[in-house]
Amino acid sequence: WRREAPRPRVERLDPRNNPAAPSPAVDDERVYVFFAEFGLLAYDFDGNKLWDAPLGPFDNLYGMGASPVVFDGKVLLVCDQRTDSFLIAINGTNGQVAWRVDRPEAASSHATPIVWQPNNGEPQLIVVGSFLLSGYAISTGQRLWWVRGMIHEMKSVPVISNGIAYVNGYGSPMNDPGNTLDVGPFENALQYDSNDDGLLSRDELPEGRARQRIRMSDLDRDGKLSENDWNYFRNSMAMTNGMFAIRLGGSGDMTDKNFLWLYSRAVPQLPSPLLYENLLYMINDGGIVTILDPTTGAQLDQGRLQNAVDSYYASPVAGDGKIYMVSELGMVSVVKPEPTLRVIATTDLDDTVYGTPAIDGNRIYLRTGTTLYSFGLPQ
């Protein structure tokens, strides 16, 4: 079946994004889909619409990207945007809001959250966004603890294993080690406020990062940097690109206790990491594969995929003792899960791929720009 969703408005999108970028979520009874230009919709498995929950409009520099997650009867959706970011839980049976919490620190992030079940205690939603990784109680929406140090735009889904989250964040080359800096407080920057209106316009700012990045930093889009805009800019210049390993849990600000390690070379902007057979893999947008020791963050190997040198948007997946990496132009590399990068097969799908493959049972599903493929052994 096929159903058309309402599209009451058209929102700004980066050309690499599209209005149907968020993936659907399913439970035993329903499928939930989020379209930023409408909101959430729920269907039964016969395609009958059960409810809808209009949300937005949204304002995100690149458009919305986070997918809904369903757990324990609630549809959980991170709606981070330039201003008024929030996290919402909607009752899967009837579409009513169970709870909604503001995320004032978050701007322009796109990361789908992940559920974490601690050994002791209630399930939490682990949300990565601007500057913070946070744990929320799924039952109430209360933010229980957080760790500082994330960059300003988080896009990747964390991977969780043994109470540790591995998550990569990449802002721009200005966030590479050695390039970060403290641009100082707003009160110092006000020396450039030549018309004394308490705001910094593009023309007032000297040549440099503040002027170059005003389109990103001007969160409320009035063409000038307020103190709030400046603080976002200041924080975004101070943070370091990296793969972060963070212990989960605790209460309040856990930055000092929970931050385990940071690895900062060839970090992906978009593809999420993969933890498989006790090795941590990442592939960056430029096609550089890095294999890390998840315990220490030590680099075990780094290199490009022979026969598939390309850009990468899809995240790596693994099953049956193999890792699958799919490039933007549809080159599929099958990699052995070993500390040294070794490709055992390459296939060309001859079409664009931006979506992460899905594995279910003995099948792997791959979606290209035109075609949905299912691969597996004959039954």
Cβ proximity to Ca ion: between 80 and 218 the closer is 218
> How many residues of this chain bind Ca ion (CB under 5 A)?
10
- Give the CA dihedral 170, 283, 274, 378, nearest 10 degrees: 140
Considering only 37, 80, 153, 229, the residue that binds Ca ion (CB under 5 A) is 229
Q: How far apart are CA 335 and CA 208, in angstroms?
A: 43
Nearer to Ca ion, 197 or 350 (CB): 197
Convert residues 268-307 into a mask of x (bound to Ca ion by CB under 5 A) and - (unbound): ----------------------------------------
First-last CA distance in the chain: 26
Contact 240, 181 (CB under 8 A): no
Sequence-separated (6 or more) residues with CB below 8 Å from residue 340: 291, 300, 301
Q: Mark the segment that binds Ca ion (CB under 5 A) among 88-96, 224-232, 264-272, 324-332.
A: 224-232
Residue 364 sits at φ, ψ, to 5 deg, of: -120, 130
Task: Using the rule CB under 5 A, give the single segment among 60-68, 129-137, 192-200, 314-322 that binds Ca ion.
Answer: 192-200
In the complex, least distance from residue 129 CB atom to Ca ion, rounded to whole angstroms: 20
Residue range at the interface with Ca ion (CB under 5 A); choices 56-64, 228-236, 277-285, 312-320: 228-236
CB of 235 to Ca ion, least distance (A): 15
> Is 324:316 a contact under the CB 8 Å cutoff?
yes
Helix H or strand E segment including 215 = helix 214-217
Query: Judged by CB, which is closer to Ca ion: 220, or 351?
Result: 220
CA-CA distance, 47 to 62, in Å (whole number)?
Answer: 30
CB of 191 vs Ca ion, minimal distance in Å: 11
Q: Using the CB atoms, write b or e for 297-325: b if 16+ within 10 Å.
A: beeeeeeebeebebebbbbbbbeeeebbb
The DSSP string of 236-268 is HHH---EEEEEE---SEE-HHHHEEEEE-SS--
Least separation in angstroms between residue 219's CB and Ca ion is 6
In the complex with Ca ion, the residue whose CB is nearer, 153 or 229, is: 229
The Cα 139–Cα 72 span in angstroms is 9
- Shortest distance in whole angstroms from residue 230 CB to Ca ion: 9
Residue whose CB is less far from Ca ion, 103 or 224: 224
Q: Do the Cβ atoms of 159 and 166 come closer than 8 Å?
A: yes
Smallest gap from Cβ 226 to Ca ion, in A, equals 5
Please identify which residue in 176, 220, 285, 351 interacts with Ca ion, judged by CB under 5 A: 220
Of 131 and 232, CB closest to Ca ion: 232
Closest distance to Ca ion from the beta carbon of 232 (Å): 10
Cα–Cα–Cα angle for 63, 266, 20, nearest 5°?
A: 20
Interface segment toward Ca ion; rule CB under 5 A; list 61-69, 117-125, 229-237, 287-295: 229-237
197 binds Ca ion (CB under 5 A): yes
Structure tokens at 135: 């744990």
Which window, 55-63, 112-120, 227-235, 268-276, contacts Ca ion (CB under 5 A)? Answer: 227-235
- Does residue 195 belong to the site contacting Ca ion (CB under 5 A)? yes
H-helix or E-strand containing 273? Answer: none
The stretch near Ca ion (CB under 5 A) out of 11-19, 24-32, 220-228, 307-315 is 220-228
- Sole binder of Ca ion in the list 80, 105, 218, 310 (CB under 5 A): 218
- Which residue from 222, 277, 338, 360 is in contact with Ca ion, where contact means CB under 5 A? 222
> Binding of Ca ion at residue 193 (CB under 5 A)?
yes
Please list the helix, strand and coil fractions of the chain in percent, rounded to the nearest 5, in that order.
10, 35, 55
- In terms of CB distance, is 12 or 49 closer to Ca ion? 12
Report the interface residues with Ca ion, using CB under 5 A. 193, 195, 197, 199, 218, 220, 222, 224, 226, 229
